[in-house]
Amino acid sequence: MTRKRVLTIENLTFGYTRHALLYSNFSLSLYEGEIVTILGPSGSGKSTLFELIAGNIKPMEGYIKKERFSQVFQDPYTSFHPTYTIKNQIEDVADVSNMDQLCKEMGVEPSLFEKRPHELSGGQLQRASIIRALLMKPKLLLADEPTSALDNLIQLDVMKLLLRTLGQVGILMITHDRDLAKWCSDRIIEIG
C-alpha cells in the first residue's frame, strides 16, 4: 500500500536576514501515519519553520507543498480564548457532530468541553487542543513543543494522545527535548 505524502519541503533556505540563515537547502518529506521530529535548541528556527509551512512567511529559496493541516501550540491557555467555552471555540473552526465520539475514543471526558479554559488543567486543555486540531480533519498535524508547558507526568499522557491521532494524520513535531524526540519519533531531524 502506498502512503500519502502530506508534506514536501525542497531546498528551503530562509533567514530573517541574509547574513543569518536559519536553514539552507533544507529538504524533508513526511507521510501519513508517520511522526517526524525537528530537534534543535532554542532560537534555532523551529517555530519559524512552522510559520513557513503554514504560509505565514515566504521562503527565500525553495518550495513547500502541504496537504490540509492544523496546529497544536505550546501553551494551551493562549491557544483558547478565555471567555468562551471550549465547545463554542471548537464549533467555530470544526464540525463537532462527532466530537463526543472522538472524545470517547481518545479517553477524554466530553463534559470538560462545556467549561471555559481556566476551569481546565493545562493537560486537559492541551488534550482539548489536540481534539480540536483533529476535528479540523487535517492530513498534517503541526505540533510546536506540545508538551513543554505541562508537568512531567501529564506530558506523557498528552504525548500518548497525540500519537493516537497517527492513524489519521502525519505529525511534524518540534521540540528541544532529545529524550521525548527519541521516545516518540519515527525520524529525528536536527537543526541548529
Task: Report in angstroms how near the CB of residue 184 gets to Mg ion at its nearest.
Answer: 18
Pairing of strands 140-144, 35-39: unpaired
Query: What track of x and - describes contact with ligand ADP for positions 43 through 82 (by CB under 6 A)?
Result: xxxxxx----------------------------------
Sequence-distant (6+) residues with CB within 8 A of 44 are 22, 191, 192
Q: Which does 55 bind (CB under 5 to 8 A by kind): ligand ADP, Mg ion, none?
A: none
Q: Which does 117 bind (CB under 5 to 8 A by kind): Mg ion, ligand ADP, none?
A: none
Residues in 44-63 that interact with Mg ion by CB under 5 A: 46-47
In 3D, which of 114, 82, 89 has the Cα closest to residue 100? 114
Cell numbers placing 35: 511522526
What is the full DSSP assignment across 13-70?
Answer: EE-SBTTB-SEEEEEEEEETT-EEEEE--TTSSHHHHHHHHHTSS--SEEEEEE-SEE
Could you identify the residue written with the cell 481518545?
Answer: 106
Q: Which does 85 bind (CB under 5 to 8 A by kind): ligand ADP, Mg ion, none?
A: none
User: How far is it, in rounded angstroms, from Cα 71 to Cα 127?
Assistant: 13
Q: Which does 170 bind (CB under 5 to 8 A by kind): Mg ion, ligand ADP, none?
A: none
Query: What track of x and - describes contact with ligand ADP for positions 7 through 46 (by CB under 6 A)?
Result: ---------x-----x-----------------x-xxxxx
Task: Report in angstroms how near the CB of residue 29 gets to Mg ion at its nearest.
Answer: 23
Q: At what angle do helices 152-164 and 122-135 cross, to 10 degrees?
A: 10
In 3D, which of 66, 34, 37, 5 has the Cα closest to residue 167? 34
Task: Report in angstroms how near the CB of residue 79 gets to ligand ADP at its nearest.
Answer: 16
Task: Report in angstroms how near the CB of residue 68 gets to ligand ADP at its nearest.
Answer: 23
* Chain residues in the site for ligand ADP (CB under 6 A): 16, 22, 40, 42-48
* Chain residues in the site for Mg ion (CB under 5 A): 46-47
